[in-house]
Structure 1
Amino acid sequence: MVATLTVHDGREKVRDYYRATRVAFPDQHHEIIALRHSDDAVIVEFWLMGTHLGPLGAIPPTGSQFRVRMTAYFIFDAAETLVCERVYFDSLSMLKQLVGGLDMKNPKNWVLAARCLKGLLSMSGEGPAESLLRTTPPTFED
């Protein structure tokens, strides 16, 4: 997840990620915008949508809906086995919709907004995945 600088490597970690996101957004769904391919990848542009009904990490549910444009690269090895899904999106747009959907004229939402900020700050202390910070430039042949 490039936007959050996290890597979910291995079958169990990927399953845990999908399980956690379906708890946070049980109605999560996609609308494909475009589908492209290259020699070793399938590239998908899509809208991701859902309603924040469960915790998103340390961020409590807000009940707000979101719609965020994303791009996913599905990378395959020489044997055509899927080896990586790399997802790009604007995480601030998503958070703005989740927290910004709260009616701040209602005092009961002030505590929830503060809990969301506290949760976000607690998650920001996690270090980024080193593999997303240090990449090897490609070598191009003449």
Structure 2
Amino acid sequence: MTVHDGQGEVRGYYHDSRVAFPDQDHEIIALRHSDDAVIAEFWLLGTHLGPLGAIPPTGNRFRVRMTAYFIFDAEENLVCERIYFDTLTLLKQLLGGLDLRNPRNWVLAARCVRGLLKTSGDKPHPALTRTTPPAFAD
């Protein structure tokens, strides 16, 4: 529920995601297009080797199905990318691999839960909740 607007914020997002998952990769499932968009379905995969926001690295691998919408204006300039995925599936893979029978993992698990709680209270960006209904042609 975050918006990264402008070159600096987008570059920061890509930097942070590559720090969290330096081996991040994509497996394309399908590409589609409409009059003003390209839609990509893909698997995103990688290993959690750096911090993901407030969540410390777990060293676990993940594989999550995603959809990305690349939206273009009338001059065919890319104006927006919207990504949709199941966050819980990602978090389950990152945190679920921790062996909690091993006391050495208890501190990491507690830090991960604290990181999740820290980020879960954020409110969605207003651009995501105050949307304008589409105007359909007759």
TM-score normalised to the size of structure 2?
Answer: 0.98
Separation (CA, whole Å) in 2 of partners of 1:135 and 1:101 = 38
**Cα offsets for 1:30-68 (capped at 9, x unmatched):** 000000000000000000000000000000000000000
Residue 60 of structure 2 aligns with an amino acid whose one-letter code is: S
* Aligned counterparts, 1:8-19, within 5 A: 8-19=4-15
**Where does residue 52 of structure 1 map in the other structure?**
48
Residue 98 of structure 2 aligns with an amino acid whose one-letter code is: L
**Where does residue 91 of structure 1 map in the other structure?**
87
**Where does residue 135 of structure 2 map in the other structure?**
139
Ranges of 4+ aligned residues in structure 1 off by more than 6 Å: none
Question: Secondary structure of the equivalent of 1:67?
Answer: strand
* Unpaired runs of at least 5, structure 2: none
Q: Which moved more, 1:93-102 or 1:120-129?
A: 120-129
* Unpaired runs of at least 5, structure 1: none
Residue in structure 2 matching 1:43, options 36, 39, 45: 39
**Where does residue 22 of structure 1 map in the other structure?**
18
Note if 1:119 corresponds to 2:112. Answer: no
Residue in structure 2 matching 1:6, options 2, 5, 14: 2
RMSD: 0.7
Separation (CA, whole Å) in 1 of partners of 2:4 and 2:137 = 32
Separation (CA, whole Å) in 1 of partners of 2:9 and 2:137 = 36
Residue 132 of structure 2 aligns with an amino acid whose one-letter code is: T
- Count of paired positions: 138
Residue 91 of structure 2 aligns with an amino acid whose one-letter code is: L
- Report sequence identity in percent: 75
TM-score normalised to the size of structure 1?
Answer: 0.95
Residue 56 of structure 1 aligns with an amino acid whose one-letter code is: L
Question: Secondary structure of the equivalent of 1:135?
Answer: coil
**Cα offsets for 1:64-120 (capped at 9, x unmatched):** 000000000000000100000000000000000000011111111111111000011
